[in-house]
Chain A
Amino acid sequence: MKKIIPWTIFIVFAGWAVSNMIPKKPSSTFDVTGFGKLPVLAGGRVMPMDTLGRVSLLQMNHHGVEEAAENQKPPRKPSQTQWLLDVLMLPEHADGAKVFEVTNPDILDLFGWRKSGNYSFNDLQPFFAKIEEQAGQAAQTDADARNAFQRGIVRLRDVLRLYVQLKNTIEPQDSPDFGKEVQVFQQAIQPGLDAVRNRDAGKPYDDQAFQRILLFTHRYQSLAQAKYAYAIPNPSGKTENDRWSPVSEALLGAIGTGQIPYPVTAYGQMVSAYRNGDAAGFNQALNEYQQYLSKNFNPEINRPNLEYYFNLAQPFYQSLVLYLVVFLLALFSWLLWPKVLSQSALLLLGFAFLIHTAGLILRMYIQGRPPVTNLYSSAIFVGWATVLFCLVLERIYRNGIGSVCGAVIGFTTLLIAQNLQFDGDTMEMLRAVLDTNAWLATHVVGEVLGYSAVFLAGLIGIIYIFRGVFTTSFDENASKTLGRMIYGVVCFATLFSLVATVLGGIWADQSWGRFWGWDPKENGALLVVLWNAIILHARWGGFARERGVAVLAVFGNVIGSLSWFGVNMLGVGLHSYGFMDQAFGPLLAFVASQLVIMGIGLLPLKYWRGIRARGRRVTETGGVPAHAAEAG
């Protein structure tokens, strides 16, 4: 019986997570899933349409999923892909979808609105001139000096531009029937070219054919102004630049070759069918296009395909929820059924870690990069590494501390990551200086492992302080064990952060010509190294014992968070690819909370319930109170 309960709890939650990751059957008769997997080049990489939809929506509002269009009953909450499908093929419908988040009160005032929330393209249309004017003024201020209104209005203008660009991805947005248009254009090319040739040669020519080809040329030239995502693949291209083109260029290119590329025709058929509500026709055109892709673009469509499932499964989100469950189970285990609940917590932690790992590996494969390439992925990786450390600690000590710490840090870092993805594509291409897998895999990973260990040591320090001050169960053994855990983890933190910082120096020497330039990010890394060195020397010199090391380790949280995020807010230096300015408030609150905890940790020992209780125990057995030995 005792063995069954933990497994049952485990299976319930694990099963729930797995069921979340299995793709569901779409409600639409249109093959939205198939469309979501179609490859498109945006932001310098080939991604599935689904990612394009998600990334675009994330820039427009913080929910990622749009709200239902007005006068649509019953209101449905369509997927990102469904929304993108509307934008690309039925823009007049998508224009009514409330996807543009407007929250800044000054911007709302500008439009005479009261309620902050999501608005549609149609809602915003009357104010386009105002938005352009205000954003144009705001853009003249340096990006890091803009106030909330200026940031907001520039962002609003940018996402409106993005939206218009999206509408022109596979057809001119005003085309009533793009499939038909492509056919007409195809028929117009040859007569048109003949007319142009004859006209140039001074021979008689067909003026109607001439005017028609001229009209098409102008139309597609102006379409090229709005190019953003490149939807049209070209199997004969050699480099990525040649293998993908925007629909405008594919159409203009057809004037030269006389033949419209098949992908354009295929999209034309899909658009026409979609607009006519012809699901069978849409699915057939889509299916033929998919076959064309798998014949000509194997294996490069594998990654977008996989990415589609990665998007649907959201492995990091599932592990985030599981870490929360683990934390709750571990908390309850202190109140009742300690053995049973802590066992299920550990099982579930292992399972969450497996999903986390799978997500990390998938991400690495899809991107073709080491795990950490930007701030978002650094948060994912800090979480992963910490949970790994915790599982090792749990294996060694078997006292439940590992489960709690893994759950807390896993949950927190994934939550941070969730909030960091609002900047857009989390698998964005890397700036030139970062384009080296060897250094990314060593320096960056090492640095992030260092952060993981610093935060883990800090959290165990917090547990030490809280258990010591607030509980009576804090016997000498518990104190010693926690102290040893902190020390071991600090050793790892020192090792990783020192080696990684030094490797970073070598990378800097290789690419910028100086080993050390006192750049903010470098200084942040140096602070972490120095702080770890102080902890170790203070312990070796006997200036800090268990309690002292615990308090010092908590301050490591402060140093770690400043180095990880704080220096990115300064906006100076060469490491200018990880900047962020919004998180200043939360960071300050975190630092303050850690200082308060350190203050608690520094309370005189007579206020430590754990030590008082121990003193009683010791005196009862005739020994001497152990206060003095504990001083740190």
Chain B
Amino acid sequence: MTGKPEVTPRTPEAPGAGIANQPRPKTSFTALAALPAFTALKGVFKPLASLRLTIVCLACAMFIVFVGTLDQVQIGVYEAQLRYFKSFFLYFTLPGSNFRIPYFPGGYTLGAVLLINLVAAHLARFKFTWKKSGILILHSGLILLLIGQLITSVFEQESQIQLDEGQTKNYSESPYFDELAIIDRSKPDSDEVISVPASRLIKGQTISLPVKGLQLQVDESYENAALINPNQLPSPNYPHLRLGPMAVAVAIPKTYKQNERNQPTAAVTLLKDGQAVGSWALSSGFPQPVQFKVGSDPFEIIFRPKRYYRPFSITLEEFKHDRYAGTDIAKNFSSKVRLVDPTAHENREALIYMNHPLWYSDLILYQAGFGNNDKTTVLQVMKNPSRVLPYVACGMMALGLLIQFGMHLVSFVRRRVIA
């Protein structure tokens, strides 16, 4: 990325603000238990606190984990996550229609019910004794873990930076999502980027853009497309979008394979005050910017993987792929990068390798992949506001289990010694 730095984009979607203001989960009931009104409340919790409900929920959880895992063979890990675990219901789609019938609670529903059940159980039967301290700590840890995973699944942001040796980037890209970006290059020191997520490109719709009264009209949209040479078309009339003299896109079914990416493709017309500024066919599989003008202002339009701009830039200085002597078995991958952050006055080298990520601001960069004859690295960029919660939760759960079973064991041994 040379030339003018691009500024943070404005998107038509609501931005993910307010992450830092999430309420902290409450984990201590000791204070509550002291209140006299609390005893009266206990009765209310009784039905919610049923142990039978716990078991039913756990069994349902096993069912969705089992079915979801099996379905990963067909639809891939990511899609299975969305359908089974990060959903309120599992749906059955009637063949030949878009009618979906919910047939089973999804991960969110089960997680929420378990959470309520667990909290209610402790409120309803709460009585602190040393004998129950292990269970209490264990369950508090579990509550924390469930809440943490909920926050994670809502606010986690996963993206990747692909860098050739010597290349510098100040953004990362989504491995799943694509965007249609309209870039206003009229300002002297920065660009303005308006991005429309690929999922919003629905045929026949018109989207208002927050810049210069522009509107985007979607003339055609493919969820996934194969890019082929025009003379490979089965017939000249076969539905396709012409991307250039040597390439046309034809619609193909969405892919769920682990090593494939969908290439959404669309034909769009940009309108200003009802007048067409230009029409283009664009594909994320062929992310080349097209220049045009609105009045006298220079603009660009491009279909590309969704970008997340960063206040810092990363340069890949060297990528190394070590193998065990005399084999092709990978021993280690490492990326020597230079991190430059003008706002924080940082300019330093860092080494990212397996099991050794780089932590910077609220991001963590992992070594995730490589390519191009070991000249290109792929870094996974994770942003997870609740990253610490699992650690605390896990510690509590392990401690609780140890206390609980430790006490069981001690009393068991004592009984046997007496006997």
Contact = CB atoms under 8 A, between A and B. Distances in A.
**Do A and B make up one complex?**
yes
A519 to B, nearest CB: 6
A530 to B, nearest CB: 5
B68 A512 contact: no
B58 A524 contact: no
B73 A527 contact: no
B405 A491 contact: yes
Interface string A476-516: 00000000000010011011001100110110011111111
Interface in A410-440: 428-429, 431-433, 435-436, 439
A502 B397 contact: yes
Contacts of B401: 494-495, 498-499
B329 interface: yes
A528 to B, nearest CB: 10
Contacts of B65: 523, 526-527, 530
Interface stretch (B233-241, B310-318, B386-394): B386-394
B54 A537 contact: yes
Contacts of A541: 51-52, 54-55
Contact of A571 (B73, B368, B408): B73
B327 interface: yes
Interface residues of A, number: 65
Given A502-B394, A511-B366, A515-B152, A573 B77 contact: yes
Given A435-B332, A513-B366, A572 B326 contact: no
A518 B412 CA distance: 37
A228 B80 CA distance: 41
B151 to A, nearest CB: 11
A396 B380 CA distance: 51
Contacts, number: 166
Contacts of A511: 354-355, 357, 366
Nearest to B59: A534
A268 B84 CA distance: 64
Contact of B330 (A431, A495, A538): A431
B387 A509 contact: yes
A432 B55 contact: no
Nearest to A512: B366
Nearest to B400: A498
Nearest to B80: A518
Contact of A509 (B51, B61, B390, B408): B390
A541 B76 CA distance: 38
Given A429-B324, A572-B76, A435 B331 contact: yes
B325 A241 contact: yes
Contacts of B384: 513-514
Interface stretch (A23-31, A42-50, A273-281, A619-627): A42-50
B219 interface: no
Given A512-B366, A543-B55, A44 B156 contact: no
A518 B68 contact: yes
A43 B355 contact: no
Contact of B327 (A429, A506, A531, A537): A429
Interface in B70-107: 70, 72-73, 76-77, 80-81, 84-85
B158 interface: yes
Interface in B128-167: 149, 152, 156, 158
B326 A230 contact: yes
Contacts of B405: 491-492, 494-495
Contacts of A632: none
Nearest to A491: B405
B359 to A, nearest CB: 11
A630 interface: no
A460 B401 CA distance: 23
B255 interface: no
A244 B52 contact: no
A570 interface: yes
B8 interface: no
Contacts of A559: 62
User: Which size bracket describes the interface of B in this complex?
Assistant: 35 or more
A567 interface: yes
A543 B325 contact: no
Contacts of A300: none
Contact of A538 (B55, B81, B355, B366): B55
* Main DSSP-derived SS at the B contact region: helix
Interface string A569-592: 011110000000000000000000
B62 A513 contact: no
A41 interface: yes
A510 B72 contact: no
Interface string B344-383: 0000000000110100000010101000000000001110
B211 interface: no
Contact of A505 (B54, B329, B394): B394
A610 interface: no
A207 interface: no
A513 B364 contact: yes
A246 B84 CA distance: 52
A44 B332 CA distance: 13
Given A513-B366, A570-B72, A518 B329 contact: no
Contacts of B394: 502-503, 505-506
A510 B366 CA distance: 9
A436 B354 CA distance: 9
B366 A43 contact: no
B7 interface: no
B77 A519 contact: yes
B77 A518 contact: yes
A534 B63 CA distance: 13
A533 B408 contact: no
Interface string A218-237: 00000000011110000000
A34 interface: no
Contact of B72 (A228, A439, A494, A573): A573
Nearest to B328: A44
Contacts of A506: 390-391, 394
23 contacts: A41-B326, A44-B324, A44-B331, A239-B325, A246-B326, A429-B324, A429-B327, A499-B401, A509-B390, A511-B354, A511-B355, A512-B366, A512-B368, A513-B364, A518-B68, A523-B69, A524-B69, A534-B58, A541-B55, A543-B52, A570-B73, A572-B77, A572-B258
Given A495-B402, A518-B69, 8 more contacts: A44-B325, A506-B390, A513-B382, A516-B390, A523-B66, A527-B65, A537-B51, A540-B51
Interface of B: 51-52, 54-55, 58-59, 61-62, 65-66, 68-70, 72-73, 76-77, 80-81, 84-85, 149, 152, 156, 158, 258, 323-327, 329-333, 354-355, 357, 364, 366, 368, 380-382, 384, 387, 390-391, 394, 397-398, 401-402, 405, 408, 412, 416
